[in-house]
Amino acid sequence: MEISNFMRDEHRRCDDAFAKAEQAVNRGDFTEALKYFEEFMIDTLKHFDKEEEILFPAFEEVTGNTEGPTRVMRYEHNQARGLFEELKKAIDQSDKARFFSVADTLMILLQQHNMKEEQMLYAMCDRVLAPQAHQLVERMRTH
């Protein structure tokens, strides 16, 4: 469960930062929104990097499976990266309607992505990477 717990906590931290950005846009405070959005974006991109550079390769090495779940997760990371740019543009232009339209899309994409990871992929990682779980989590923590 060590991998699941660590990764799930990271998801929740990203959600909190994004919720603060949405609340700021809702108030019309785009300066504050930019601050929280950048915090969310940096944390999320770091989280993606940890998965793509540490966790997924370890999973693929043990299972010999590079075309399965990790491929889908990488694909969805790229979909999210594209939406970050759209969201940044909406904040720069102080366009509230556009922001929430993109935010809705991004949130559903990320939440369904997180659920698939938490309910399936991380559970698989906990099982197959149990002997090296502690070491992997430490590497991700200091990444």
Footprint of another protein (CB under 8 A)? 15-16, 19, 22-23, 26, 63, 65, 67-69, 71-73, 75, 79, 82, 86, 97-98, 100-102, 104-105, 107-109, 111-112, 115-116, 119-121, 123-124, 127
Q: How far is C-alpha 4 from the geometric centre of its chain's CA atoms?
A: 14
Nearer to another protein, 54 or 107 (CB): 107
Least separation, in Å, of the C-beta of 46 and another protein? 20
Of the candidates 72, 36, 59, 79, the residue with the CA atom closest to the CA atom of residue 124: 59
Q: How far apart are CA 113 and CA 67, in angstroms?
A: 17
CB 54 within 8 A of CB 140: yes
Q: Least distance (Å) from another protein to the CB of residue 134?
A: 22
